[in-house]
């Protein structure tokens, strides 16, 4: 989980005129101050380092039981430049004696409170290669409420990350090194935050330490390499947290479902337990559910996360494993026919159900095949998807 906000307080005592104006600023240089002019006391906000063309939404609340504000608070304001802006005025309630203790609470979110997400925009997948979605929309512990339309992409550490949409970088962080399921790390994920032309904001979270290739103020285009995936902050394993949101009133945010162009050349919403990759014009056997070129028949189970070669020869009287990747969640009915090339007959038929929610399956097969050369035909849902040659040695 990643967060992108700033919180700061300004505590003062009410008196008719403030001779010295004191600004209280957070580490992002979002500042508040209270000033009195012509017997009117006001709260000012200033985003001193605001990048031109971007927005900061600041939730503002005056805490004090003996005052009245105009407009009534709490309320959120959008800052669009670095100039100091008067956001509200306040006064003592009648029959109230000074001094009065008050405090200003300000919570700042990147993005525009009035943003309207462009629902027709087609996003670029935010990584190179292929990735699985481990946690999708409205799922898990974190993808709820304001972050309901977030996606977690499973990626090995160091995978190049790409900008999913044109925009301006408004914040980066890459100093953190630790990642595990610990609430103390919830705000300690390396990240890149990019504002889009419609005022929405994208968060790329859990990046590798020193894995940020862009800086605040930089304009990026969709598909541009911006960093490296990692496993920092509150995390259960290496992945990329991707989310597009806009700020809302009352310290809330609203996330948006996003359309991507995927390997099928379709424009689609992504779903949990499925794999996606950038269109490359190739449609391997079994596409898009699997790839028969990656099927493996061997005496040991290969590591699905590592590239390895599979033999085309096995020893007789030894059990072996048939393993396959699954890119789109099932369930499916899988069948393999082992055809002896000399007799032209099916010597053995293997059939199993592939359950939903998995991305790799390996079956143990007992040594029932005699020595000889075989052709294996593969089927999914009774449809032939490919074949493989195999030799069983004496």
Whether residue 99 has a cis bond before it, omega within 30° of 0: yes
Task: Express as a percent the part of the chain with pLDDT over 90.
Answer: 71
**Contacting residues for 138 by C-beta, under 8 A, at least 6 apart:** 144, 148, 149
Collapse the DSSP code of 206 into the 3-class scheme (helix H, G, I; strand E, B; otherwise coil) and give the result: strand
Q: 7 pLDDT band (50/70/90 cuts)?
A: very low
The token duo for 343 is: 């007799």
Task: Give the pLDDT score at 21.
Answer: 63
Phi, psi of 267 (to 5 degrees): -100, 115
Q: 102 pLDDT band (50/70/90 cuts)?
A: confident
In tens, the pLDDT along 9-33 reads 444 444 443 445 678 888 788 898 8
Task: Express as a percent the part of the chain with pLDDT over 70.
Answer: 93
In tens, the pLDDT along 248-300 reads 998 899 999 999 999 988 899 999 999 999 888 888 899 999 999 999 999 99
Task: Give the pLDDT score at 281.
Answer: 81
Task: Give the pLDDT score at 16.
Answer: 42
Rounded to the nearest integer, the mean pLDDT of the chain is 89
Task: Give the pLDDT score at 371.
Answer: 95
Across the beta sheet with 313-315, the strand order is 313-315, 383-393, 372-380, 332-340, 345-354
The token duo for 308 is: 């390895």
Task: Give the pLDDT score at 34.
Answer: 86
> What is the CB neighbour count within 10 angstroms for residue 339?
18
pLDDT reading at 195 higher than 70: yes
Q: What is the CA radius of gyration of the chain?
A: 29
**Of the given ranges (56-65, 208-217, 332-341), which has the lowest mean pLDDT?**
56-65
**Of the given ranges (50-59, 67-76, 229-238, 337-346), which has the lowest mean pLDDT?**
67-76
Collapse the DSSP code of 48 into the 3-class scheme (helix H, G, I; strand E, B; otherwise coil) and give the result: coil
Cα–Cα distance for residue pair 12/2, rounded to 1 Å: 32
- Region 148-159: mean pLDDT is 96
Q: 62 pLDDT band (50/70/90 cuts)?
A: confident
Task: Give the pLDDT score at 302.
Answer: 86
pLDDT reading at 94 higher than 80: no
Pick from 307, 311, 318, 326: which is nearest to 364 by CA?
Answer: 318
HEC profile of 125-152? CCECCEEEEEECCCCCCCCCHHHCCEEE
Distances (CA, A) of 258 to 26, 131, 168, 288, 365: 32, 16, 18, 21, 43
Q: Would residue 327 be called left, alpha or beta, if left means φ above 0 and alpha means ψ between -120 and 50 degrees?
A: alpha
- Region 107-134: mean pLDDT is 95
């Amino acid at each position: 989980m990643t967060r992108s906000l700033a919180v700061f307080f300004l505590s003062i005592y009410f008196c008719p005129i403030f001779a010295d104006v004191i600004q209280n600023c957070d580490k992002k240089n979002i500042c508040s101050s209270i000033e009195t002019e012509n017997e009117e006391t006001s709260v000012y906000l200033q985003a001193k380092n605001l990048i031109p063309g971007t927005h900061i939404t600041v939730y503002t609340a005056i805490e004090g039981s003996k005052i009245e504000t105009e407009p009534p608070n709490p309320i959120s304001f959008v800052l669009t430049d670095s100039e100091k802006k008067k956001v509200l005025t306040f006064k003592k309630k009648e029959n109230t004696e000074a001094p009065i203790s008050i405090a200003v609470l300000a919570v700042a979110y990147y993005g525009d409170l009035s943003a309207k997400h462009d629902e027709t925009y087609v996003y670029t997948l935010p990584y190179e290669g292929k990735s699985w979605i481990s946690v999708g929309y409205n799922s898990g512990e974190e993808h709820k409420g304001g972050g309901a339309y977030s996606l977690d992409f499973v990626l090995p550490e160091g995978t190049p990350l790409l900008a999913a949409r044109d925009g301006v970088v408004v914040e980066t962080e890459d100093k953190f090194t630790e990642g595990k399921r610990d609430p103390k790390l919830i705000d300690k994920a390396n990240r890149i935050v990019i504002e889009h032309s419609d005022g929405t904001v994208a968060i790329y979270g859990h990046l590798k330490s020193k894995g940020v290739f862009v800086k605040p103020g930089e304009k990026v285009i969709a598909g541009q390499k911006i960093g490296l995936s990692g496993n920092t902050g509150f995390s259960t394993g290496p992945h990329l947290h991707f989310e597009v949101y806009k700020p809302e009133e009352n310290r809330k945010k609203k996330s948006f479902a996003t359309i991507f162009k995927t390997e099928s050349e379709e424009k689609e919403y992504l779903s949990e337990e499925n794999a996606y990759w950038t269109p490359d014009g190739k449609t391997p056997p079994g596409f898009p559910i699997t790839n028969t070129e990656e099927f493996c028949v061997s005496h040991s189970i290969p590591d699905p996360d590592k590239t390895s070669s599979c033999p085309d020869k096995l020893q007789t009287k030894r059990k072996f494993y048939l393993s396959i990747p699954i890119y789109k969640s099932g369930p499916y009915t899988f069948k393999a026919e082992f055809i002896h090339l000399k007799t032209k007959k099916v010597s053995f038929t293997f059939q199993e159900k592939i359950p939903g929610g998995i991305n790799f399956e390996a079956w143990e097969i007992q040594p029932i095949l005699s020595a000889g050369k075989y052709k294996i035909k593969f089927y999914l849902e009774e449809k032939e998807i490919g074949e493989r040659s195999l030799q069983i040695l004496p």
